[in-house]
C-alpha cells in the first residue's frame, strides 16, 4: 500500500514535467517554424529579384543581337540576318540555353519589324525574355526598342580640340528647317523674330577636349548649350550662355553647361565612282540630275564663278598638304535653288573671294567632307557671301569660318575658329540627317501591362 | 535478542513526511523555480525580440525591393529628369507614340500625414496634387537621390551637377522601424545606379 502510493506521486510529477516540456518544445518549434518561413520568404524574394534582373539583362542582350544585325546589314555584310527566320521585311530569332545555375535556365525571343529600312525609317526591335527557375513561375520581361540612324551632325559646332570665337558679337542659336521630318514638305527658313517662334535655344557648341581652353567663347552669346570633355568654357565679360528657361540676369546658366561630352569621330573616305575631268569650267552638273565628278583640284580667281546644276558630288583628289580648292578675288561658287554640291577631299580648302552663295534653305545643299587622315591634317577656310549655308564634316581638319553674316548648318572638325561677328544657326533637322549612317537606339520602352504586351503577343506565340 | 519497532512509530513517521514541506525545502524550491522561470522568460523575451527584428528586417527587405523595383522600372525608361531637390525628382516617361508623361518620386520629410517619412510615387510634377503612392515607409531623413554623368576616361568624379548631364540616378536610404519592447531595427541601402536609357546627354 505504501509503496503503491509513492510510485503514483512520482508518475504524476513526471507527467507534469512532460507536458511543460512539450509545451515549451511546441513554442520553440513554432518560433523556429516562423524563422524558417521568414527565411524562406526572404530567400524567395531575393531569388525572384535576381531572376527579374536577369530577365532584364537577357531581354537587352537579345535586342543588342538584333541591333548588331542591323548595323552589319548597313555595312553591306551578307550574313547579317543569317540564322533569323524572315517573312517579308520581318524577322524572328530565339536565343536559348542561358544557364543561371541552380537549374535555372533562360531564353530570349526577338522580333524585328523591318530588316530593310530606308534612310528615314525607324524600325522596331521587340524582345521577350524568360528566366525559368525549377520550382516556380518564370520571370519574363518584354521590351520595345525604336531605332534611328545616328547623325554626324547631332550638334552645331563640334570639335575634337578647341572651339574659338574671335568676334565681339558672335552668336549661336538654332532653328529646325524640317520640323515634321518630311522631305516632301517645304523647308522652313531661319527667322530671328522671336514672335514667329522659329528661333530656338538649341545652338550647341561641343568640344571633346578636357583642357580649360576647350571652348573659348570670349564675347560670343550662346543661345543654347555648351559641352566640354571636362573643363568649364571660358566666357568673356560680354559673353553669355543662356536659353529660354534661363532666369533674367543670369549670364552663364549652369544648367546649360555639361562637362560630359564624348563622341566618336568616324573617318570618312571618298566615294570611288564619278567621271574624271581634267578641269572644272564655269558650270558643273546637269539641272535636275544627280552627277558625280572627279578632278584633282579647283581654283577660281578674278571674277570667275562656278555654278552648280543638279545634285553634284565632286571628289577633289589633290593629296594631303596641297591645295584642293582655292578661291580669290571676286570668285564665287553659286548653288541655285534646287541644286546641291557635295565635295570630298583630303587637300586644303580655301573658299574665299565672294565665297559660297547657296540659294537653298536647307544646309545639306552644300556638304564638305574632309577625308584627310594624315598627322598634319588639313586646313579648311570658308567665307560666305550673305548667308553661308552648309555642313562640314572634317574630323582631322582645322576649320576657320570667316564672315559677319549668318552661318547656317553644322561643323564637325578637329578645331573650329569663328572669325568675325558671325551669327551661327544650327539646323536641328540635321540631327535626322542620317543618310546611310549606323543605327542607334532612339526609344527604349519596357512593356509591363497586359495591354502593352498584347500588341506583340501574336509575334511571340507558337515558336 | 530481537527488537521490535512499535507500529505506531512507523505510522507517525509516514504522517510526518506527508503532512508538508519544511520552510527550507519551500524556499529552495521557490528559489529554483524563480531562477528557472527567469531564465525561461528571458529566453522567451530574447526569442520574441529576435523574432520581431527578424520579421522587421524581412519586411524592410521586401519594402526596399518592391520600392526600388518600381522606381527602377520608371528610371530605366525616363527620357528626361528634373532635379527638384536631393529628395525629389521628376521623370519624363515615354508613352506610346511620341508623347511623354511625368512622374515624381520624392521623400516626405514631414512627421504627420499619410506619406510622412515615406518614399512615394506621384504622377505629374511635384505641385500637381495628385494622389501619392507610398513605396517605402519609416525612412530616416537622410534619404537622398544622387545623380551621375556617364563615365569618361581620366575623370574620377562623375557626379552630375545639372539635369543636362545626368544619365544615372541612385537612391540612398535608411529604414528605421521601432517597437516599444523590441527596440529599433534599421537597415541602410544604396541602390544600383539606374541608367536613364532614353535620356539624351551631350554625347
**Can you tell me which residue has the cell 526609344?**
A443
Instruction: Tell me the pLDDT of chain A averaged across its residues.
Output: 89
A254, closest residue in chain B (CA to CA): B162
Q: Are B93 and B101 in contact (CB under 8 A)?
A: yes
| Nearest neighbour of B161 by CB, restricted to A254, A262, A444 | A254
| A17-47 residue pLDDT tens | 788 889 888 988 888 888 888 888 888 888 8
Instruction: Indicate the residue of B61, B158, B163 with minimum beta-carbon distance to A45.
Output: B61
- Residue A343 confidence (pLDDT): 96
Helix boundaries (H) for chain B: 7-18, 23-77
* Three-state DSSP class for residue A72: helix
CA distance B72 to chain A (A): 10
CB contact under 8 A, B51 and A206: no
pLDDT higher than threshold 70 for residue A262:
yes
Smallest CA–CA distance, residue B127 to chain A, in Å, is 19
pLDDT at B56 over 50: yes
Higher pLDDT, B154 or A309: A309
HSE toward the beta carbon, residue A27, CA cutoff 13 A: 13
Name the residue in chain B with its Cα closest to that of A145. B198
Of A229, A263, A444, the CB nearest to B198: A444
pLDDT in tens, A393-449: 999 999 998 777 788 999 999 999 988 888 899 999 998 886 677 888 888 989 988
* Across A283-298, average pLDDT: 95
Q: Is A254 on the interface with B (CB under 8 A)?
A: yes
**In sequence order, what are the residues at sequence separation of 6 or more whose Cβ sits closer than 8 angstroms to the Cβ of residue A281?**
A306
- Whether B157 has its CB under 8 Å from any CB of chain A: the answer is no
Q: Quick check: A444 and B197 CB within 8 A?
A: yes
Residue A3: what pLDDT?
47
A227 Cβ under 8 Å from any chain B Cβ: yes
Asked whether the predicted pLDDT for residue A256 surpasses 60, the reply is yes
CA A299 to chain centre: 37
Q: How far apart are CA A319 and CA B97, in angstroms?
A: 49
| Structure-block grid coordinates of residue B109 | 520629410
Chain B interface test: which of A260, A428, A456 (most B C-beta within 10 Å): A260
Residue among A155, A170, A238, A189 nearest A405 (CA): A170
pLDDT band at B30 (very low <50, low <70, confident <90, very high): very high
Interface predicted TM-score (ipTM) of this complex, two decimals: 0.71
Please indicate if any CB of chain B lies within 8 Å of the CB of A259.
yes
Residue of A nearest to B94 (CA): A445
Which tens digit of pLDDT belongs to each residue from A58-84?
A: 999 999 999 999 999 988 888 999 999
- Give the distance from residue B112's alpha carbon to the nearest chain A alpha carbon, in angstroms: 30
Shortest distance, CA B3 to any CA of chain A (angstroms): 22
- Residue in this structure with the C-alpha cell 540576318, named with its chain if needed: A81
Task: Say if the Cβ atoms of B152 and A262 lie within 8 Å.
Answer: yes
Least trusted range by pLDDT, from A103-117, A239-253, B35-49, B176-190: B176-190
Cβ pair B69:A49 closer than 8 A: yes
Whether the pLDDT of residue B1 is over 50: the answer is no
Buried b (16+ CB within 10 A) or exposed e, A397-427: bbbbbbbebbbbbbbbbbbbbbbbbbbbbbb
Q: Using CA coordinates, name the residue in chain A closest to B83.
A: A255
Contacting residues of B for A258, CB less than 8 Å apart: 149, 162, 164-165, 201-202
> Nearest residue of A to residue B98 by CA position?
A443
CA distances from A180 to A174, A185, A186, A429, A436 (A): 16, 8, 10, 9, 20
Q: Mean per-residue pLDDT for B2-19? A: 54
Amino acid at each position: 500500500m505504501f509503496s503503491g502510493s509513492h510510485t503514483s506521486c512520482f508518475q504524476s510529477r513526471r507527467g507534469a514535467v512532460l507536458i511543460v516540456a512539450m509545451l515549451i518544445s511546441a513554442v520553440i518549434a513554432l518560433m523556429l517554424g516562423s524563422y524558417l518561413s521568414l527565411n524562406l520568404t526572404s530567400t524567395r524574394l531575393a531569388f525572384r529579384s535576381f531572376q527579374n534582373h536577369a530577365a532584364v539583362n537577357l531581354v537587352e542582350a537579345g535586342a543588342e543581337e538584333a541591333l548588331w544585325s542591323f548595323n552589319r546589314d548597313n555595312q553591306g555584310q551578307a550574313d547579317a540576318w543569317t540564322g533569323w527566320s524572315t517573312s517579308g521585311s520581318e524577322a524572328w530569332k530565339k536565343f536559348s540555353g542561358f544557364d543561371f545555375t541552380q537549374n535555372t535556365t533562360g531564353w530570349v525571343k526577338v522580333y524585328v519589324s523591318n530588316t530593310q529600312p530606308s534612310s528615314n525609317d525607324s524600325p522596331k526591335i521587340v524582345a521577350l525574355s524568360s528566366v525559368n527557375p525549377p520550382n516556380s513561375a518564370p520571370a519574363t520581361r518584354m521590351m520595345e526598342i525604336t531605332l534611328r540612324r545616328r547623325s554626324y551632325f547631332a550638334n552645331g559646332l563640334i570639335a575634337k580640340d578647341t572651339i574659338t570665337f574671335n568676334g565681339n558679337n558672335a552668336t549661336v542659336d538654332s532653328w529646325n528647317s524640317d520640323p515634321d521630318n518630311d522631305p516632301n514638305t517645304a523647308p522652313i527658313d531661319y527667322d530671328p523674330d522671336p514672335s514667329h517662334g522659329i528661333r530656338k535655344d538649341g545652338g550647341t557648341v561641343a568640344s571633346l577636349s578636357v583642357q580649360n581652353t576647350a571652348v573659348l567663347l570670349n564675347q560670343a552669346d550662346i543661345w543654347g548649350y555648351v559641352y566640354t570633355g571636362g573643363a568649364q568654357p571660358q566666357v568673356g565679360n560680354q559673353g553669355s550662355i543662356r536659353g529660354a528657361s534661363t532666369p533674367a540676369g543670369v549670364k552663364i546658366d549652369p544648367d546649360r553647361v555639361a562637362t560630359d561630352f564624348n563622341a566618336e569621330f568616324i573617318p570618312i573616305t571618298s566615294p570611288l565612282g564619278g567621271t574624271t575631268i581634267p578641269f572644272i569650267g564655269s558650270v558643273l552638273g546637269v539641272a535636275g540630275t544627280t552627277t558625280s565628278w572627279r578632278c584633282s583640284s579647283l581654283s577660281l580667281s578674278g571674277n570667275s564663278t562656278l555654278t552648280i546644276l543638279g545634285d553634284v558630288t565632286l571628289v577633289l583628289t589633290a593629296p594631303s598638304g596641297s591645295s584642293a580648292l582655292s578661291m580669290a578675288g571676286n570668285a564665287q561658287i553659286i548653288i541655285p535653288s534646287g541644286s546641291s554640291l557635295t565635295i570630298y577631299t583630303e587637300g586644303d580648302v580655301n573658299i574665299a573671294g565672294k565665297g559660297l552663295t547657296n540659294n537653298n534653305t536647307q544646309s545639306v545643299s552644300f556638304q564638305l567632307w574632309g577625308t584627310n587622315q594624315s598627322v598634319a591634317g588639313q586646313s579648311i577656310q570658308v567665307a560666305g557671301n550673305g548667308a553661308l549655308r552648309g555642313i562640314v564634316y572634317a574630323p582631322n581638319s582645322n576649320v576657320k569660318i570667316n564672315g559677319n553674316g549668318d552661318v547656317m548648318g553644322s561643323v564637325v572638325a578637329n578645331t573650329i575658329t569663328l572669325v568675325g561677328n558671325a551669327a551661327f544657326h544650327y539646323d536641328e533637322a540635321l540631327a535626322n540627317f542620317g543618310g546611310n549612317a549606323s543605327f542607334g537606339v532612339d526609344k527604349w520602352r519596357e512593356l509591363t501591362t497586359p495591354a502593352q504586351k498584347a500588341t506583340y503577343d501574336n509575334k511571340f506565340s507558337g515558336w | 535478542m530481537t527488537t521490535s519497532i512499535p507500529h505506531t512509530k512507523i505510522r507517525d513517521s509516514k504522517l510526518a513526511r506527508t503532512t508538508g514541506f519544511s520552510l527550507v525545502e519551500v524556499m529552495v524550491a521557490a528559489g529554483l523555480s524563480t531562477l528557472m522561470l527567469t531564465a525561461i522568460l528571458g529566453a522567451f523575451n530574447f526569442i520574441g525580440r529576435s523574432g520581431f527584428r527578424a520579421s522587421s528586417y524581412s519586411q524592410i527587405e521586401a519594402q526596399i525591393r518592391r520600392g526600388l523595383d518600381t522606381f527602377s522600372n520608371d528610371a530605366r525608361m525616363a527620357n528626361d529628369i528634373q532635379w527638384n531637390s536631393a529628395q525629389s525628382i521628376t521623370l519624363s516617361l515615354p508613352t506610346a507614340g511620341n508623347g511623354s508623361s511625368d512622374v515624381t518620386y520624392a521623400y516626405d520629410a514631414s512627421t504627420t500625414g499619410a506619406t510622412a517619412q515615406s518614399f512615394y510615387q506621384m504622377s505629374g510634377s511635384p505641385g500637381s496634387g495628385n494622389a501619392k503612392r507610398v513605396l517605402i515607409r519609416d525612412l530616416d531623413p537622410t534619404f537622398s537621390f544622387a545623380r551621375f554623368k556617364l563615365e569618361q576616361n581620366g575623370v574620377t568624379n562623375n557626379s552630375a551637377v545639372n539635369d543636362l548631364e545626368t544619365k544615372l540616378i541612385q537612391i540612398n536610404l535608411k529604414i528605421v522601424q521601432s517597437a516599444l519592447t523590441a527596440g529599433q531595427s534599421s537597415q541602410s541601402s544604396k541602390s544600383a545606379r539606374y541608367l536613364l536609357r532614353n535620356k539624351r546627354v551631350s554625347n
